[in-house]
Structure 1
């Protein structure tokens, strides 16, 4: 029973991830068509508020570690959740693109306080043993929340209106965040006189941590390799949103929705799998394994025109999400440890968010220009190979 608190904290983090990623981002697509049609604006123009959301989430991540050291995390969390909920509900009361874009920026900034960077820092602090499993469960919850949340919000919108849909989204975000707000815990277990789960050593001296930060440079080859790999995978993750369109172009439109659903199932499953593999074999081997599975899935989707195998390929493609959401924190921790995590991960998270936001439109433009998705598949397969090579060639290196 003495080790139950880290798992309670992990459960609270699941709720925070489900709200910041699952509801705020993964479920946002249910509003695009209905809002755009109702207001008479282009879907792309309305959807751009989520690009702004994603950009500001990544941008705000640069200051989060400093804020978390200067102010109590519970205070920051409570204020951020409150503002995020109000901004989400306010989406149902505005009717102009500038207002949607402003609210997108506000939601992105506030949501960043209970998104990838702070949650991974909390798990890093509270878990030594089963670290990979804990962080994978936290971020897998976002995929599950996205699937369930999309269905719930779609039903609310159909039964009432998109305005009520945003009200429901705000309420769901608040409910999911309540355990994190109400559960008493410190950012660091040592501040409570406790050790991390499975911890056997005392915390590294602050002087050592400061020395390592002062002697790290962003020109470090390992950082550059990780940066390239995560950017390449970030571009990959947006491809799934185009699966229905791809299926139509090859006269298999009836399985487009199934392909997208299969990729989302893979999203959830492989996020858990990469954590289990990390605890058993290490983060680098696990990430490389997920990338090879992604590459295999892409090959099936591009070269095999059998419906069942294409659905299997889409499922395997879902492994790329595990590298982007879970692999990023795990690889950063693997290469740079706790001492440099809050320095390294914010830019890694930022480039991941930015790459995913850009690629969603870029893939669409590739289709518009070439009238085919095959070119996009080939480019993304090359990017996955680059990511594999970047990590493999740096497998024996570290920041030291």
Structure 2
């Protein structure tokens, strides 16, 4: 069987399309819709953001069930259901005129996106790639940000010219289109069923023996409930930050600038998140996910301080650029840390729970930031909380690493 082929990269490209459909379009671009819809319906911004909260919450819930659904119905049928629900509900939002309609459709959209990401994407990457795993993970997951970077200004201009209603319908169509390759092109979840080995796998007897030894070692790892709880808390807290850039258009309006400047900041954050996701995966292959993650946390903390302290456009753009790093932690870093701390054997069992935490934090964040502004008249408290979260999470990572080292030392001495 072939371990390195064009087929491996075709599968990776198709997963990039799924990442755009599941996150890049319905999650990363929704910030430009919040203020126009709130003004059109004459309601609070936080109330409008609630349908996004429901989407992210249901995306979180579905993350827990996706492995079972894939096992029962198959990978492609699960993906097909997700595409129809996500694309269809997003299209129907363009015909909504009341908050309850947005909330129902947001609920359904969340079920659909939960069937698409992040669990299915990471399972496919783990199955198809052994070598360059960190790099491919970062490439695929970065396309959620690529979708946001490209389409945030596009939708902002469309809303101005044709209205948010038709813009939402257009988004629903795009969700389906970007997912079509993953539905049409023939491939299997397990590459061996298609006549391929995971990328970079050694097919010799020595290579197979080494791979089996790694899996056996991972299987024998102790999964500390306390350590996993710390990583769950880390994921939840860090994901609370990803809703902040979606409010950049409203933030700049609150300090006297136009929403177009805020849309530009959002786009800058999306573009920079691509680089941070790619860089994090690449650097992790050499320095390890722990050091890479701590470095990114420091950059996010700096960006939170900038957004809290300054109002000049040029400096705010720098803050937005650095804040794009926040998107690399819940997607790329948590994926790599899970494999680093608990091994490949336990990944499929543990990562869906972290994916639940991932989406749950985002669900809370996007509405919480809106309500912070509604009740305080400022976005500064949100930036202050973001700074505190990054400082706390650096301590959490150090604590997990020290506990793992301590447990390993005890085993060696016993």
TM-score of the two chains, using structure 2 as the length reference: 0.85
Partner Cα separation in structure 2 for residue 167 and residue 393 of structure 1? 47
Per-residue deviation, residues 225-252 of structure 1 (Å, max 9, x unmatched): 2112212211222333444555566778
Q: Which of 345, 350, 358 does residue 352 from structure 1 map onto?
A: 358
Q: Which moved more, 1:329-338 or 1:232-241?
A: 232-241
Partner of 1:233: 238
Residue 105 of structure 1 and its aligned partner are, at CA, apart by 1.3
Partner of 1:9: 11
Residue 307 of structure 1 and its aligned partner are, at CA, apart by 4.9
Q: Which of 332, 342, 347 does residue 336 from structure 1 map onto?
A: 342
- Kept in 1: contact 2:31–2:247 (CA 8 A): no
Partner Cα separation in structure 2 for residue 67 and residue 91 of structure 1? 27
Residue 163 of structure 1 and its aligned partner are, at CA, apart by 3.5
Q: Does 1:189 align with 2:191?
A: yes
Per-residue deviation, residues 50-95 of structure 1 (Å, max 9, x unmatched): 1111100010110101121222211221232123322222223343
Task: Give 3-state SS (helix, strand or coil) of 2:199's partner.
Answer: coil
Partner of 1:220: 225
Residue 193 of structure 1 and its aligned partner are, at CA, apart by 4.0
Residue 104 of structure 1 and its aligned partner are, at CA, apart by 1.3
Task: Give 3-state SS (helix, strand or coil) of 2:243's partner.
Answer: helix
Q: Which moved more, 1:378-387 or 1:121-130?
A: 378-387
Task: Give 3-state SS (helix, strand or coil) of 1:110's partner.
Answer: helix
- The 5 A counterparts of 1:239-258 are 239-243=244-248, 258=264
- The 5 A counterparts of 1:148-159 are 148-159=150-161
Residue 99 of structure 1 and its aligned partner are, at CA, apart by 2.7
Residue 273 of structure 1 and its aligned partner are, at CA, apart by 0.8
Aligned residues: CA RMSD:
3.0
- Kept in 1: contact 2:81–2:115 (CA 8 A): no
- Kept in 2: contact 1:232–1:386 (CA 8 A): no
Partner Cα separation in structure 2 for residue 148 and residue 113 of structure 1? 24
Partner Cα separation in structure 1 for residue 362 and residue 382 of structure 2? 14
Residue 371 of structure 1 and its aligned partner are, at CA, apart by 5.2
Partner of 1:105: 107
| Alignment CA distance shift 1:89-1:212 (3 Å) | farther
| Alignment CA distance shift 1:300-1:347 (3 Å) | same
Partner of 1:70: 72
- The 5 A counterparts of 1:39-58 are 39-58=41-60
- The 5 A counterparts of 1:99-178 are 99-178=101-180
Partner of 2:411: none
| Alignment CA distance shift 1:32-1:311 (3 Å) | closer
Q: Does 1:278 align with 2:284?
A: yes
| Alignment CA distance shift 1:42-1:298 (3 Å) | closer
Task: Give 3-state SS (helix, strand or coil) of 1:195's partner.
Answer: coil
| Alignment CA distance shift 1:258-1:18 (3 Å) | closer
Partner Cα separation in structure 1 for residue 43 and residue 252 of structure 2? 27
- Kept in 2: contact 1:58–1:353 (CA 8 A): yes
Partner Cα separation in structure 1 for residue 160 and residue 184 of structure 2? 33
Per-residue deviation, residues 322-378 of structure 1 (Å, max 9, x unmatched): 112211212112212221112211221222222222233334444555555444333
- The 5 A counterparts of 1:261-340 are 261-303=267-309, 307-340=313-346
Which 5+ residue runs of structure 1 have no aligned equivalent?
none
Partner Cα separation in structure 2 for residue 369 and residue 384 of structure 1? 24
Q: Which moved more, 1:358-367 or 1:100-109?
A: 358-367
Partner Cα separation in structure 1 for residue 253 and residue 33 of structure 2? 23
Partner Cα separation in structure 1 for residue 374 and residue 119 of structure 2? 35
